[in-house]
Structure 1
């Protein structure tokens, strides 16, 4: 295989100053592997992608849970390849690859190329950068913006070029368009600039204010939408992490911290292979320069600040963080470890590290493939990505056309059933998610719904064959047509269908 052969001789390449080529090969292997796997194995869109497609189809400035950049990107990526999702899987891995490159670029500025390379490669051992990434969502999309911001801000602070300040502001603003948790990078780094004497001196110059102005102008349209919408996306964050009693909060916090440590285990094992104990008889290292002290302080703030800020905010509000919310905040942890242990990179150690890195790359991929192939066959269970969404979309569209003879414009239901029917239908109707009514679905009006009609879909196996009460209350007059069985790889899904005829 190309990968083992190349990495087995990477120590020799490093001796020839080829760290950049090693990085390019590692990133390429990661991107190809994690693009091909979901493209070949996933038969249906995941829940997050289904939700993004329903939103992105409407081209709003914001949605009930998120800023709009992720739904927009997801919609664009599915227009030209039809209903194939390989472009979404590729985009997710480009996001991860961008993180690796941005960390490498910062590492080259503050340490040797070898340590910068190790800092990037260690990230392959973090759970958040491999197994869950095929579910292209707002978390994955925010990752490259956080990483790029960390690199560009260092360039701006040290080189003080106006272009770097402007780029930093643009990336900060776009990161907020991807996910609000981009603020977990912005606020700690703003505190760093205020607290560190060398960085604070820049406040007397135009650069930082160019950054702030660019970020605010970039984010302004969505800020206006937030106010106009009645802060519905901010309300979602509060609903998603509700305030709890102190005892329950402590339990959930310990669970959160434990999950993060578990996500780091492969990375920590890789790092231990390069660990060196201090030699008491060794010649003391020379005193670090001011620039070295600044770089170390900057990296510590960048690697630890986002998570520390999030935990502090969580403690102040008594709202426990959710495990996956930490994923986009850990881009620079590997680089911090590499610059802290300062590994002795001998030929033998590098070869051992290279073989271990291959295992860390391939093992999650094997587990991912086993889960997708083995779960329905061996366990008789299904993931959402096994759901027969194409069959549901065809059934809904055919039954609507048989009743009305018109193209289908609206599908009403929960996120999963309505989202699947809307995306996989040949008519590509708009989805109206019943949990939010017209407030969460402003692209639909009562008048247009009465005029155009709609199909209601629900999980008949769990909610019964009759129209669910919350459906009937919001959309009276719908007529039950049938309960449709659709065959998945391990089970039959019963879907209720009702038609709200056009007036």
Structure 2
């Protein structure tokens, strides 16, 4: 299944590695804390669980593995998100080389790389971003499975599809696109395809079975969470969501169009040397009808189907849910590119690199120095290290010689305190055992517990009732204050309480 690694592969791998390094470094120096989703994954990644109340487990497993190698630095989610983005681009590159030349495939991959889902939002390590690589890998394997009908490819497709589903259940949207394409082309009339699908389903079942068992045992908790996330105020609200969704997706795809327009202006001002008449043809002219149909059905079905279902059923539609829907759209640019391949690719690469650097530097400055100076309560300027130091000092004053092990708080505030306190400190999320499967909740309370909440960090919201109940049980309590960033920023109220260890503590 694997062709030999050539010089074009090496160059693409180098470019993608540089992409990861540049974005990770800039986020590390400009951010004082990860984004909310990245913090949630860091909090979850203290153990290997078969599932969580909100999502399936694979993104947390990946972060757990990285944490075993690198510890829990605050930049780890940025790195993990950009690795997922780069790996997705790599599989798109492999897909592009299946149906066109290396140069044209590279142009499509480079252009799609500047969309926000592979750049700015690629730094946000949530289940949408974490799914990028597996969606791209599934798409490549699905193409190869239908084209070459090798049993090993079908098996790998089933394994990767299971990993995609273990990342987020929305993988079913991608599988719907695959099914529609096969119906359109009568693939099920081919006995080899039927056998291949069978092999893929068996491989999928083997990988997914343990999580399915966990779902049954947890009464399908993530599905209940997903059901609540889909609730909207009716079809009119759903229609508003659809228009908002379309507008946001257009904005997030716009850097690709901007990069193409810059290249086009350069080409008009100083045309690249053309050696053959065919250089004036659109780059899409060499695609077969089957390949064109593949790009259209697999590339367009997810967004069209999602919009239709949301509008008809009156369900909520969030812009981030479109993260994986547009990765094939870079190849659509082949319809609007002409010219000698080598020189055209060189120019597109220069434009894309410039746009990537401008976006990375601009985002780092906006989320770092500018946000701090403006005093805006941004996640990126959150004083997690300072708050953690203050809370640890309070703990040490009341319980000298007893290490802090568990922080009962919401994911954001508790995560910032825990990650800046040490690798052994865990978060008791909202004081709820079901949200913190890595803890023995009873022993956590009996062996010494710090409770912290803030209405400022919750944007005026109230803490969870379970957290308030723990707070009221505490022997020691008080309020500390910490300014968010500059003197223009709000003051954070740190409502803290300490439950000392009891004689019922059995943890050594």
TM range (shorter): 0.7 to 0.9
What displacement does 1:47 show?
1.5
Number of residues of Structure 1 aligned to a counterpart in Structure 2? 478
Provide the C-alpha distance between the structure 2 equivalents of 1:318 and 1:467, rounded to a whole number of angstroms. Answer: 31
Match of 1:483, SS state, is strand
Q: TM-score, normalised by structure 2?
A: 0.84
> Where do 5+ consecutive residues of structure 1 fail to align?
1-16, 277-281
Retained in 2: the 8 A contact 1:77–1:88?
no
Counterpart check, 1:421 vs 2:417: yes
Where does 1:109-124 land on structure 2 (aligned, <5 Å)?
Answer: 109-124=98-113
Provide the C-alpha distance between the structure 2 equivalents of 1:160 and 1:193, rounded to a whole number of angstroms. Answer: 14
Partner of 1:403: 398
Partner of 2:505: none
Where does 1:182-197 land on structure 2 (aligned, <5 Å)?
Answer: 182-197=171-186
Partner of 2:367: 372
Retained in 2: the 8 A contact 1:249–1:320?
yes
Match of 1:206, SS state, is helix
Q: Which moved more, 1:325-334 or 1:391-400?
A: 391-400
Where does 1:172-211 land on structure 2 (aligned, <5 Å)?
Answer: 172-198=161-187, 200-202=189-191, 205-211=194-200
2:387 to 387, 392, 413: 392
What displacement does 1:227 show?
1.7
What displacement does 1:257 show?
0.4
Partner of 2:435: 440
Provide the C-alpha distance between the structure 1 equivalents of 2:101 and 2:456, rounded to a whole number of angstroms. Answer: 60
| Superimposed CA distance per residue, residues 322-345 of structure 1 (whole angstroms, 9 cap, x where no aligned partner) | 11111122211111332x346333
1:52 to 36, 41, 49: 41
Provide the C-alpha distance between the structure 1 equivalents of 2:425 and 2:165, rounded to a whole number of angstroms. Answer: 29
Query: Would the alpha carbon gap of residues 291 and 258 (structure 1) be closer, same or farther in structure 2, given more than 3 Å must change?
Result: closer
Match of 2:219, SS state, is coil
Partner of 2:485: 489
Retained in 1: the 8 A contact 2:26–2:361?
no
Retained in 1: the 8 A contact 2:85–2:133?
yes
Retained in 1: the 8 A contact 2:31–2:368?
no
Partner of 1:4: none
Match of 2:166, SS state, is helix
What displacement does 1:74 show?
1.7
Provide the C-alpha distance between the structure 1 equivalents of 2:313 and 2:374, rounded to a whole number of angstroms. Answer: 41
Retained in 1: the 8 A contact 2:235–2:313?
no
2:147 to 134, 150, 158: 158
Query: Would the alpha carbon gap of residues 321 and 172 (structure 1) be closer, same or farther in structure 2, given more than 3 Å must change?
Result: same
Q: Which moved more, 1:307-316 or 1:100-109?
A: 307-316
Q: TM-score, normalised by structure 1?
A: 0.85
Partner of 2:274: none
Match of 1:133, SS state, is helix
1:307 to 300, 303, 311: 303
1:381 to 376, 379, 393: 376
Counterpart check, 1:169 vs 2:155: no
Counterpart check, 1:454 vs 2:430: no
Where does 1:252-263 land on structure 2 (aligned, <5 Å)?
Answer: 252-263=241-252
What displacement does 1:407 show?
2.8
Counterpart check, 1:335 vs 2:331: yes
Partner of 1:294: 290
| Superimposed CA distance per residue, residues 139-169 of structure 1 (whole angstroms, 9 cap, x where no aligned partner) | 2211010001111111111111111111111
Query: Would the alpha carbon gap of residues 289 and 163 (structure 1) be closer, same or farther in structure 2, given more than 3 Å must change?
Result: farther
What displacement does 1:311 show?
2.2
Match of 1:494, SS state, is strand
What displacement does 1:203 show?
5.5
What displacement does 1:73 show?
1.8
Provide the C-alpha distance between the structure 1 equivalents of 2:368 and 2:102, rounded to a whole number of angstroms. Answer: 40
Query: Would the alpha carbon gap of residues 137 and 326 (structure 1) be closer, same or farther in structure 2, given more than 3 Å must change?
Result: same
What displacement does 1:92 show?
2.4
Query: Would the alpha carbon gap of residues 348 and 78 (structure 1) be closer, same or farther in structure 2, given more than 3 Å must change?
Result: closer
Provide the C-alpha distance between the structure 1 equivalents of 2:472 and 2:17, rounded to a whole number of angstroms. Answer: 54
Match of 1:127, SS state, is coil
Provide the C-alpha distance between the structure 2 equivalents of 1:107 and 1:152, rounded to a whole number of angstroms. Answer: 12
Q: RMSD of the TM alignment (CA)? A: 3.2
Retained in 1: the 8 A contact 2:236–2:314?
no
Counterpart check, 1:502 vs 2:491: no
Match of 2:54, SS state, is coil
Query: Would the alpha carbon gap of residues 240 and 420 (structure 1) be closer, same or farther in structure 2, given more than 3 Å must change?
Result: same
What displacement does 1:488 show?
4.3
Provide the C-alpha distance between the structure 2 equivalents of 1:204 and 1:21, rounded to a whole number of angstroms. Answer: 33
| Superimposed CA distance per residue, residues 356-411 of structure 1 (whole angstroms, 9 cap, x where no aligned partner) | 32332122112212213332443122421222222333333343344334233322
